[in-house]
A and B are shown apart, each in its own frame.
Chain A
Amino acid sequence: DSGVTQTPKHLITATGQRVTLRCSPRSGDLSVYWYQQSLDQGLQFLIQYYNGEERAKGNILERFSAQQFPDLHSELNLSSLELGDSALYFCASSVGTDHEKLFFGSGTQLSVL
């Protein structure tokens, strides 16, 4: 158990809908990272937050947004969903701002039908 909690584990929705994925980092970790894993693109870095502030941005679509709350949990919002958004979304956390050791959650499997 990595200590990173993601909910829900599975999510099935329709095209055009909006969903929210939630992540609770390990106790004491200030950074939260979001990754998307798909068969064709592999594991892609989306965005990083550190202590409530956006720290780094990767290949995140404009339809996607994220935030980190004062209690350090994070939410990834996906809107106007398309079939191609179906993927496994991982959250990871680390103590500081670097990627030296990330602790990953078990992921949220999103299926857009």
Chain B
Amino acid sequence: AQSVTQLGSHVSVSEGALVLLRCNYSSSVPPYLFWYVQYPNQGLQLLLKYTTGATLVKGINGFEAEFKKSETSFHLTKPSAHMSDAAEYFCAVSDKVGGGADGLTFGKGTHLIIQP
């Protein structure tokens, strides 16, 4: 079975500062990894994904994440936070592209707060 742990249910950063949202996963096979963002009163949107190939993945809105197999991590970063980045961020894992019987397994989410 796969699982996802997001460290920190709330993260607060100043506008212009580095954003780092942590995600660790557990999977018995090479994982497919995703970050989704949820803005208030909206559904989730895909930020970026890692399936195979280059371990540094770039997504929308200036976000990127690096797959580190040795650390079983897929942390999300952005060099400079913007007020519009305030949202809930979810890390997710799948053990196959097709999602399998478990679908996507999501972490509990991290609420990103941007301080002016």
Name A's B-contacting residues (CB within 8 A). 2, 4, 33, 35, 42-45, 48, 56-58, 90, 92, 97-107
Residues of B within 8 Å of A43, CB to CB, are 44, 90, 106, 109
Contacting B97 at CB < 8 Å: which of A45, A99, A106, A107? A99
B75 contacts chain A at the CB level, 8 A cutoff: no
B41 contacts chain A at the CB level, 8 A cutoff: yes
Prevailing SS type, chain B contact patch: loop
| B43 and A90 contacting across the interface, CB-CB below 8 Å | yes
Name B's A-contacting residues (CB within 8 A). 32, 34, 36, 41-46, 49, 51, 90, 94, 97-109
CA distance A97 to B46 in the complex (A): 17
Residues of A within 8 Å of B105, CB to CB, are 45
Q: Which residue of A lies closest to B96 (CB)?
A: A98
| A98 and B99 contacting across the interface, CB-CB below 8 Å | yes
Residues of B within 8 Å of A35, CB to CB, are 103
| B43 and A45 contacting across the interface, CB-CB below 8 Å | no
Question: Smallest Cβ distance from B42 to chain A, in angstroms?
Answer: 6
